[in-house]
C-alpha cells in the first residue's frame, strides 16, 4: 500500500530472483480500512516509493499504481467467507478488513494474472487469508511467503512505524525481545502464563497497550488454549497486536510447544 521500506523491497528482490518479469502494485485500498481516520492518515508518498523501487527493479519490470476509480469503478459488494481464518485475531478486531483485502487482491490478480505472488509474513493472518483465496479462486497462482524484515532493534518494519512518537519508537524494540522470550517460555509454560508475561512486559512501557497475544495453529489459525491440544505435525506462532500511543502495530514469531 505504498510508504515503502526495506521489508517491501525484500519482496521485490525475492521476486526478481524467481521471475522473468515482476509487477509491483501500489494502492491504498479503502475497502480494508474499518477506521476512516486510519485511512486518511495512512502515509502516502508515491514519488519516494518509485525511487526506492528503481533500485531493485529491472527494465522490463513494471509498477501498477491505479486510482481508486480504476480499481472500483463501482462499489464492490462481493462478500468473502474464510471461516475460522477470518474469525480470529485481526478478523475480530477489524470487522470487514479481510473482506476488503480479498476484494482488492482478487482484482489485482485478475488484472495482472501473475504466476507467483509475494507476501510478507509480518501480516501473518493476511497471508493465510490470501493463500486460501488463491486456493479457492486462483489455483494457478502460487503464493510465496517471505520472512519478516526487522530494524536493528528487532522492530518489524512497517509503514506505520514512521508515525510513532520518538519515545515510542525508541522503546519499540521491547516487542521483539518479548516475543523472543515468549518463544522460549512456551516450551515449559502454558499459553495463559505466556500471554500474561507478554502483556505485563509490554504494558510496562508508558503508552503501550496490548490488544491481544494469541498462540495459533499455522494452518487453521485456531488459538491454542492449552498445550494438551497441540499436535506435533503442525507449526505454531505467537501473534500480537498492540498500540504504541495511538499507532497500532502487529508482529509474530514461531514458537515451540513441545
Q: Residue for cell digits 482488492?
A: 104
pLDDT at 229: 78
CA 71 to chain centroid: 22
Over pLDDT 70: what percentage of the chain?
100
Average pLDDT, the chain: 96
- Average the pLDDT over each of 111-115, 223-227, 236-240, 249-253 and give the range with the smallest value: 223-227
Please tell me the pTM assigned to this model.
Answer: 0.95
pLDDT for residue 34 is more than 90: no
Helix residue ranges per DSSP H, the chain: 6-18, 36-41, 46-54, 68-71, 90-93, 97-112, 124-137, 166-171, 173-185, 191-202
pLDDT at 231: 85
**Interval 152-208: pLDDT, tens:** 999 999 999 999 999 999 999 999 999 999 999 999 999 999 999 999 999 999 999
- Average the pLDDT over each of 89-98, 140-149, 191-200, 224-233 and give the range with the smallest value: 224-233
The catalytic residue positions are: 8
pLDDT at 129: 98
Closest by Cα among 93, 124, 95 to 210:
93
What domains are there in the chain, each with its CATH number?
Answer: 6-146 (3.40.50.620), 159-255 (3.30.1300.10)
Quote the CA–CA distance of 44 and 59 in Å, as a whole number.
Answer: 25
C-beta neighbour count of 57 within 10 angstroms: 20
Amino acid at each position: 500500500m505504498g510508504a515503502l521500506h526495506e521489508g517491501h523491497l525484500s519482496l521485490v528482490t525475492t521476486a526478481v530472483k524467481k521471475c522473468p518479469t515482476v509487477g509491483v502494485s501500489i494502492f491504498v485500498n479503502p475497502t480494508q480500512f474499518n477506521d476512516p481516520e486510519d485511512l486518511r492518515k495512512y502515509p502516502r508518498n508515491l514519488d519516494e516509493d518509485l525511487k526506492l523501487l528503481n533500485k531493485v527493479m529491472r527494465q522490463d519490470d513494471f509498477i501498477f499504481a491505479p486510482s481508486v476509480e480504476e480499481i472500483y469503478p463501482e462499489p464492490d459488494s462481493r462478500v468473502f467467507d474464510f471461516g475460522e481464518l477470518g474469525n480470529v485475531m485481526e478478523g475480530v478486531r477489524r470487522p470487514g478488513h479481510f473482506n476488503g483485502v480479498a476484494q482488492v487482491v482478487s482484482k489485482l490478480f485478475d488484472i495482472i494474472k501473475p504466476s507467483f505472488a509475494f507476501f510478507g509474513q509480518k501480516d501473518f493472518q493476511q497471508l493465510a487469508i490470501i493463500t486460501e483465496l488463491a486456493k479457492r479462486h486462483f489455483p494457478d497462482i502460487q503464493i510465496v511467503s517471505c520472512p519478516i524484515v526487522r530494524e536493528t532493534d528487532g522492530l518489524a518494519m512497517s509503514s506505520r512505524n514512521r508515525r510513532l512518537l520518538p519515545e515510542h519508537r525508541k522503546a519499540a524494540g521491547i516487542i521483539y525481545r518479548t516475543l523472543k522470550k515468549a518463544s522460549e517460555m512456551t516450551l515449559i509454560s502454558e499459553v495463559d502464563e505466556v500471554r500474561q508475561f507478554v502483556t505485563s512486559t509490554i504494558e510496562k512501557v508508558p503508552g503501550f497497550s496490548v490488544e491481544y497475544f494469541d498462540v495459533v495453529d499455522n494452518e487453521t489459525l485456531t488459538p491454542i488454549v492449552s498445550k494438551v491440544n497441540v499436535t506435533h505435525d503442525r507449526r505454531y506462532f505467537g501473534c500480537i497486536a498492540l498500540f504504541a500511543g495511538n499507532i497500532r502495530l502487529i508482529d509474530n514469531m514461531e514458537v515451540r510447544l513441545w
